[in-house]
Amino acid sequence: MGKKRRSLVRAAFSAVMLVMTMLLLSGCADYMVLDPKGPIAAKQLDLMIITVILCAIIIVPVLIITFIIVWRYRASNKKADYKPEWAHSNLLEAIWWGIPIVIIIVLAIITVRYTHELEPAKALASDKEEVTIQVVSLNWKWLFLYPEEGIATLNTITIPEDRPVRFELTADSPMNSFWIPELGGQIYAMSGMSMALHLQADEPGTYFGTGANFTGEHFENMTFDVHATSDADYEKWIAEAKASPNTITAESYEEMSKPTESEEPTLYSSFPEGIYESIVTKYMHEGAELHQHGSAAEGEADDTASADSQANSEEHDSSSHKGH
Amino acid sequence: MLEKIKEFASEFFVTGDPLIYGADASIVLATLGIVFVLTYFKKWGWLWKDWLTTVDHKKIGIMYILAAIVMLFRGGVDAVMMRTQLAFPDLNFLEADHYNQIFTTHGVVMIFFMAMPLMFGLFNIVVPLQIGARDVAFPFLNSLSFWLFFAGAMLFNLSFVIGGSPDAGWLAYPPLSGSQFNPGVGQNFYIWGIQISGIGSLASGINFIVTILKMRAPGMTMMKMPMFTWSVFAASTTIIFAFPILTITLLLLFMDRFFGAHFFTLDGGGNPMMYINLIWMWGHPEVYIVVLPAFGVFSETVATFARKRLFGYASMVFAMVIISIISFFTWAHHFFTMGSGANVNSFFAVSTMIIAIPTGVKIFNWLFTMYKGRISFPTPMMWTIAFIPAFVVGGMTGVMLSVAPADFQFHNSYFLIAHFHQVLIGGTVFGYFAGLYYWWPKMFGFKLNEYLGKWAFWCWNIGFYVCFMPQYLVGLDGMTRRISVFKDPDWQGLNIASTIGAYIMGIAFLFQVAQIVYSIFRHEKDTTGDIWDARTLEWSIPSPAPEYNFAVIPQVHSRDEWWEEKERRARGEKPWDLGPIEPIHMPKNSAIGPIMGAFWFVAGFGLVFHWLWMAIPGLLGVFICMYARSFSAHKAEYYIPVDEIERTEAKLRGGAV
């Protein structure tokens, strides 16, 4: 048996070594979420670290105690105490109800505070002017509209560094989720409504963006690059986009919204005004007069009212939740 | 005409993929093999009379477990195929649409057709024995539950070769699962496979609640019930509140797809968010439904193998009940990113964290059950101990996910995938394995081979960490779930490591199969009925238990009744006098369970293809079965005479009693 056990141990050991090697090989990579490039992602990382530390207060002792108890009270250790009837202790139980309760209270307070602070619909405090980008999830590509500049892109975004960006999101396809891990957490893009997400890039660079919620066959192709540039480069890029021969018209949007397997990043010099709003309201139109009482408008207003309250108070009054 | 048939067949059968032709061939061969063996050994009658029509909870439990092991194989093959694709995405082992089907069926099969039946299998085998009962409260309903599960599972699995598998994820979010984006029959298989087995689950929930409330042996108050029975009670209560939500949600989805209703569609005033809320109102309690019985198993094994009373019994009960209640108030943590606003997210974040408290308390109580015990390490105990680190770490990542703003970065990523696999495998699967190894001797009268069991154990555990730890990292590196290819080369190393882990777990499963097969042919018969020197009533009777379980219903005096009884006997005191053996009232076998299951299958198949000519007769058959049962129930019972009981007991106990 001793020999067999040793061979088991050896098998276990070599498997663990294999994993370690794998991890080291890939260890050079900076994990995106752990390497934030914007204020939102940075605060979300802080929260993760706080959570891990709070949890560790319980978990590390538990793992150590587990090991000690299992080792010490193994049947073959005849020196250890054996108290088969001992099954209750008010003091001990008070301790292990009490400590987790305290830790969870602390964590809950922190979480509630951060949940309000990091509410995605909340504008970021900054003395610089906000950039607005409207995002439409299509099968299987992302359409980005820059309403202030009148330009549009497919599967690529350029943003100025160090300026808050307000993303307004909808979908002309099944529900997706819009995620740029290095800049901050995701939000769903859903048809029939407009969501808001505020992010900012603190330094120039190219960041990975992706759809995070499965939308069907070629969902995996819904990735895009986010280029954060200096203000000057941003202006240059806008000019480049404005010079693009490609344009979006109402007809070409129809064509574009049909499912395609994958699309190259593309710039468009113009798009029909109000197209974002019309995409948002398109799924409402049959019940347009039902606005206030129709199930869609109502349910959605209830569910997203607070998320979008700011969105509502700003521009596009034609958007979906204007019902109330 | 021939052309028409050809056209129909090419739509009806899934074509064009060599993997599926392989599956077709193996299904046909396996079926032919089974038919041949049964015919050759003239076993049809035996199969029908002794098994298919049985209402004996022990046999139903064994059938559940057998089905669950087959489904574990199917779900596991899905997993290994996915991992193969992800290790080397450039090889295009699976096309995108095939990959999407496989992750969908992997999830559905593992939760509905593996975890649930394995759980009900353990419920069935253990609960009546543990509470000193002769069967569950409603033995026929129990048989019907099994056959509904079986019909649903077979219907769902059929989609692999006929019509095409569903491909909208294991919870089938609309509008993706609606007819606009998913016109094929795959989603219909999903709806009806789950719907039919879900009705069975609901019935089982009711059955076990009534069993536990009404059928306990005299003297066994609620606070003297064994902890596994408590966990079954908590899980069953959760089932009866959660499963109706699932039934209605799937019914609404069906109405959208079949009648063109607009509950969850994009147009016509539908609201897909409503579905997501509803499905998680069931879905979150569901994960506690499957994990609570695992907690129950650990409470039994830890006390037995530490040879010590369970520590903090009252706390354990309270913690379990709290968990099952709070599980109904956490559902929105599955979609913090839906924009419900800070107040809603705060509520669900905090309610989710609260669950960590009673769960943590349970861990401490298990640890202190072992403290000052005499711990031995047979396979059930190894699984129990391995559960603790796995679940503690999984619990920590769970708390990380519950912090709403941080979840915005974890949601839909591989971090989430790693978390729920860690708690579902480390908690539920480890727990059910512990239970299976622990009660196997009670089911069959012999222990599973420990040597092969230890190989299986180590492979499972090593494979488990090798598979899922890298997934946390790749999730933190931005990899989202449900993608079959990726462009980022940084992800490949981690994915390959993860795949190696999956294969090690695959090998572990093969060890378990080998273990079972080997043990069937080579084992030592257990003559004591109490092979682990355990504590509760199921160990006071012979293994395997006779069909009537207890010759005389025991009288219960304490929580560890059988342990106390053994202590009394060791002190030289006389066993409790339970009175004379009396004729035992038993339910008769019933063919209505399997027949009604078959009708449900036919009806479900018709509804999948929107063939009313098939669905209506199927449903009619269901009603005829109900009618027949209503008017024959009074004939469905008989008595076992005293002399027969005495003969059986003498044989099983070697004349000792």
Q: Which amino acid is at B270?
A: G
Nearest to A186 among B97, B354, B411 (CB): B411
CATH assignment at residue A174 = 2.60.40.420
With CB atoms and an 8 Å threshold, state whether B408 touches A44.
yes
**DSSP-assigned letter for residue B584:** E
Cβ B278 vs Cβ B104: under 8 Å: no
Cβ A191 vs Cβ B266: under 8 Å: yes
Nearest to B466 among A8, A19, A117 (CB): A19
Structural domain contains residue B431: yes
In chain B, whose CA is at the least distance from the CA of A186? B408
Structural domain contains residue B9: no
What pairing do the DSSP bridges indicate for beta strands A156-160 and A223-229?
Answer: parallel
Structural domain contains residue A294: yes
CATH assignment at residue B570 = 1.20.210.10
Which of A4, A44, A111, A221 is the best substitution to test chain B (most B C-beta atoms within 10 A)?
A: A111
Average pLDDT over residues B84-98: 91
**What pLDDT score was predicted for residue B14?**
81
Structural domain contains residue B23: no
DSSP calls for B587-633: EPP-SHHHHHHHHHHHHHHHHHTT-HHHHHHHHHHHHHHHHHHHTTG
> Mean pLDDT highest for which of A298-307, B258-267, B302-311?
B302-311
- Both structure tokens of A291: 């606005």
Q: For residue B312, which residues of chain A lie inside 8 Å, CB to CB? A: 87-89, 93
**What pLDDT score was predicted for residue A24?**
53
- Both structure tokens of A40: 């939102």
Q: Is residue A286 located within the same domain as residue A203?
A: yes
Among the residue ranges A15-24, A305-314, B287-296, B554-563, the one predicted with the least confidence is A305-314
- Both structure tokens of A117: 């602070």
Cβ under 8 Å to B: A residues 249-308? 283, 286-287, 290, 294-296, 299-300, 303-308
Rounded-to-integer distance, Cα B581 and Cα B552, Å: 6
Q: Is residue A269 located within the same domain as residue A150?
A: yes
Q: How close B191 gets to chain A, by Cα (Å)?
A: 18
For chain A, say whether B465 makes contact (Cβ under 8 Å). Answer: yes
**What pLDDT score was predicted for residue A28?**
47
Cβ B300 vs Cβ B211: under 8 Å: no
In chain A, whose CA is at the least distance from the CA of B100? A217
Helix (H, G, I), strand (E, B) or coil at B134: coil
For chain B, say whether A59 makes contact (Cβ under 8 Å). Answer: yes
CB pairs under 8 A between A and B: 335
Q: Is residue A171 located within the same domain as residue A265?
A: yes
Quick: pLDDT tens for B583-624: 999 999 999 999 999 999 999 999 999 999 999 999 999 999
Q: How close B493 gets to chain A, by Cα (Å)?
A: 6
Cβ under 8 Å to B: A residues 64-123? 65-66, 69-70, 73-75, 80-89, 92-93, 96-97, 100-101, 104, 107-108, 110-112, 114-121
Q: How many CB atoms lie within 10 A of CB A103?
A: 19
Closest CA to B327 of B460, B237, B257, B449: B237
Average pLDDT over residues B433-440: 97
Q: How close B28 gets to chain A, by Cα (Å)?
A: 30
Structural domain contains residue B442: yes
What pairing do the DSSP bridges indicate for beta strands A195-199 and A205-211?
Answer: unpaired
Cβ under 8 Å to A: B residues 541-570? none
- Both structure tokens of B43: 């076993």
Cα B141 from chain centroid (whole Å): 18
Q: For residue A22, which residues of chain B lie inside 8 Å, CB to CB? A: 470, 493-494, 496-497, 500
For chain A, say whether B333 makes contact (Cβ under 8 Å). Answer: no
Better pLDDT: B18 or B507: B507
Cβ A172 vs Cβ A191: under 8 Å: yes
Average pLDDT over residues B477-506: 94
Nearest to B266 among A80, A184, A283 (CB): A283
**What pLDDT score was predicted for residue A316?**
40
Rounded-to-integer distance, Cα B414 and Cα B411, Å: 8
Cβ B277 vs Cβ B325: under 8 Å: no
Q: Which residues contact A308 (CB under 8 A, 6 or more apart)?
A: A121, A193, A194, A195, A196, A321, B339
Among the residue ranges B15-29, B269-283, B511-525, the one predicted with the least confidence is B15-29
Q: Is residue A285 located within the same domain as residue A203?
A: yes
The total domain count for chain B is: 1
**What pLDDT score was predicted for residue B18?**
77
Mean pLDDT of chain B: 94
Structural domain contains residue B556: yes
Q: How close A216 gets to chain B, by Cα (Å)?
A: 7
pTM of structure:
0.92
Structural domain contains residue A137: yes
Alpha helices in B403-489 (DSSP H): 404-410, 414-423, 430-444, 450-476
**Which structural domain range is residue B627 located in?**
43-652
Cβ B54 vs Cβ B589: under 8 Å: yes
- Both structure tokens of B653: 């106990």
Cα B505 from chain centroid (whole Å): 19
Better pLDDT: B27 or A290: B27
**DSSP-assigned letter for residue B480:** B
Q: Is residue A111 located within the same domain as residue A40?
A: yes
Cβ A16 vs Cβ B462: under 8 Å: yes
With CB atoms and an 8 Å threshold, state whether A174 touches B392.
no
With CB atoms and an 8 Å threshold, state whether B406 touches A48.
yes
Rounded-to-integer distance, Cα B310 and Cα B302, Å: 8
User: What's the Cα-to-Cα distance from A158 to each of A146, A196, A231, A248, A251, rounded to whole Å?
Assistant: 10, 18, 11, 18, 26
**What pLDDT score was predicted for residue B26?**
82
**What pLDDT score was predicted for residue A307?**
40
Closest CA to B12 of B607, B609, B611: B609
Q: How close A243 gets to chain B, by Cα (Å)?
A: 30
Structural domain contains residue A55: yes
With CB atoms and an 8 Å threshold, state whether B478 touches A181.
yes
SS (H, E, C) chain A: CHHHHHHHHHHHHHHHHHHHHHHHHHCCCCCHHHCCCCHHHHHHHHHHHHHHHHHHHHHHHHHHHHHHHHHHCECCCCCCCCCCCCCCCHHHHHHHHHHHHHHHHHHHHHHHHHHHHCCCCCCCCCCCCCEEEEEEEECCEEEEEECCCCEEEECEEEEECCCCEEEEEEECCCCEEEEECCCEEEEEECCCCCEEEEECCCCCEEEEEEECCCCCCCHHHCEEEEEEECHHHHHHHHHHHHCCCCCCCHHHHHHHCCCCCCCCCEEECCCCCCHHHHHHHHCCHHHHHHCCCCHHHHHHHHHHHHHHHHHHHCCCCCCHHHHC
With CB atoms and an 8 Å threshold, state whether A8 touches B454.
yes
User: What's the Cα-to-Cα distance from B243 to each of A201, A203, B280, B283, rounded to whole Å?
Assistant: 45, 50, 11, 9
Q: Is residue A112 located within the same domain as residue A214?
A: no
Quick: pLDDT tens for B218-244: 999 999 999 999 999 999 999 999 999
Structural domain contains residue A125: no
Q: Is residue A161 located within the same domain as residue A45?
A: no
Which of A303, A306, A309 is the best substitution to test chain B (most B C-beta atoms within 10 A)?
A: A303
Closest CA to B199 of B146, B256, B267: B146
Q: Which residues contact B64 (CB under 8 A, 6 or more apart)?
A: B117, B118, B120, B121, B124, B146, B149
Rounded-to-integer distance, Cα B142 and Cα B63, Å: 12
Q: How many CB atoms lie within 10 A of CB A11?
A: 15
- Both structure tokens of B615: 């669905």
With CB atoms and an 8 Å threshold, state whether B168 touches A120.
no
Q: For residue B490, which residues of chain A lie inside 8 Å, CB to CB? A: 26, 29
Q: Is residue A180 located within the same domain as residue A304?
A: yes
**What pLDDT score was predicted for residue B575?**
81
**What pLDDT score was predicted for residue A293?**
34
With CB atoms and an 8 Å threshold, state whether B349 touches A217.
no
- Both structure tokens of A308: 């979008």
Average pLDDT over residues B539-545: 94
Q: Is residue A212 located within the same domain as residue A256?
A: yes
Q: Is residue A39 located within the same domain as residue A63?
A: yes
Provide the ipTM: 0.92
- Both structure tokens of A295: 């199930």
**What pLDDT score was predicted for residue B13?**
83
Cβ B335 vs Cβ B348: under 8 Å: no
Average pLDDT over residues B563-577: 89
Rounded-to-integer distance, Cα B98 and Cα A14, Å: 34
Cα A99 from chain centroid (whole Å): 32
**Which structural domain range is residue A40 located in?**
31-73+97-118
Alpha helices in B307-429 (DSSP H): 313-326, 342-370, 379-402, 404-410, 414-423
Q: Is residue A64 located within the same domain as residue A140?
A: no
Nearest to B269 among A58, A121, A287 (CB): A287
Q: Is residue A221 located within the same domain as residue A304?
A: yes
The total domain count for chain A is: 2
Helix (H, G, I), strand (E, B) or coil at B75: helix
Structural domain contains residue B271: yes
Among the residue ranges A288-302, B146-160, B164-178, B387-401, the one predicted with the least confidence is A288-302
What pairing do the DSSP bridges indicate for beta strands A141-146 and B637-640?
Answer: unpaired
- Both structure tokens of B404: 């709403």
The mean pLDDT values, 10 residues at a time, for chain A of 324 residues are 55 62 56 94 95 94 96 93 92 94 97 96 94 96 96 97 96 96 96 94 96 94 96 96 95 94 95 94 60 36 40 39 36
For chain A, say whether B266 makes contact (Cβ under 8 Å). Answer: yes
Q: How many CB atoms lie within 10 A of CB B42?
A: 8
